[in-house]
Chain A
Amino acid sequence: AQRVTQPEKLLSVFKGAPVELKCNYSYSGSPELFWYVQYSRQRLQLLLRHISRESIKGFTADLNKGETSFHLKKPFAQEEDSAMYYCALKGQGAQKLVFGQGTRLTINP
């Protein structure tokens, strides 16, 4: 079964500080991992996916198969990063995308 765990429901950091949003998953095969973000009064949208190995808005995420993790990181947080962040997993050959419970990130000035 596919499962995604985001252990922190709320995370608050100061502007300019590093931020890390944790995501752990449970899946026996090779998954595809994603981070989605929902800013205030906006639609949920894709932030990044592990197969692209890209940095979006300064955020990066590395898939660690040994630790079954896909943590989202940014070295210097900005106030506009305040949002709800969801980690998601899609299994091999499967199209169903399973989401974690989400982490609400607040960047304090």
Chain B
Amino acid sequence: GAGVSQSPSNKVTEKGKDVELRCDPISGHTALYWYRQSLGQGLEFLIYFQGNSAPDKSGLPSDRFSAERTGGSVSTLTIQRTQQEDSAVYLCASSLAGKLFFGSGTQLSVL
């Protein structure tokens, strides 16, 4: 593909439900990041994958959040038992030579 692809672009869910957000990075990029973009909070780092190394999960806000990356390519961010404060835009980026390429994000709304 031409760039980082994220799906769905919008997700509306009810409080307490689980959601899965998907990211397809640029082919050949070994690094993949998830960020959360909230109004007034800037870009909050969530998790980082680099090749076959153990992911850096230091930014995940609670144990309701998890992510995996299968085959060094596609990544899924899962939020269990969603809360209203989880509402935000979730951005994925893949990286080559230190330069990040971002997807267009998933707008998550928890009602």
Contacts and interface: CB of A to CB of B under 8 A. Distances in A.
Interface residues of B, number: 24
Contact of A95 (B3, B35, B48): B48
Interface of A: 6, 9, 32, 36, 43-46, 49, 86, 88, 90, 95-102
B41 A43 contact: no
Contacts of B43: 44, 86, 88, 99, 102
Interface of B: 3, 31, 33, 35, 40-45, 48, 50, 56, 58, 91, 93, 95, 98-104
A99 B43 CA distance: 6
A96 B102 contact: no
**Nearest 7 CB-CB pairings of A with B:** A101-B42, A99-B43, A44-B102, A102-B42, A43-B102, A96-B48, A46-B99
A100 B100 CA distance: 15
A45 B45 contact: no
A98 B45 contact: yes
B5 to A, nearest CB: 11
Contacts of B95: 95
B84 to A, nearest CB: 21
Contacts of A36: 100
Contacts of B3: 43
Contacts of A86: 42-43
Nearest to B49: A95
A9 B39 CA distance: 11
B40 to A, nearest CB: 7
21 contacts: A9-B40, A43-B102, A43-B104, A44-B43, A44-B102, A46-B100, A90-B98, A95-B31, A95-B48, A96-B48, A96-B58, A97-B33, A97-B45, A98-B45, A99-B35, A99-B43, A99-B44, A99-B45, A101-B41, A101-B42, A102-B42
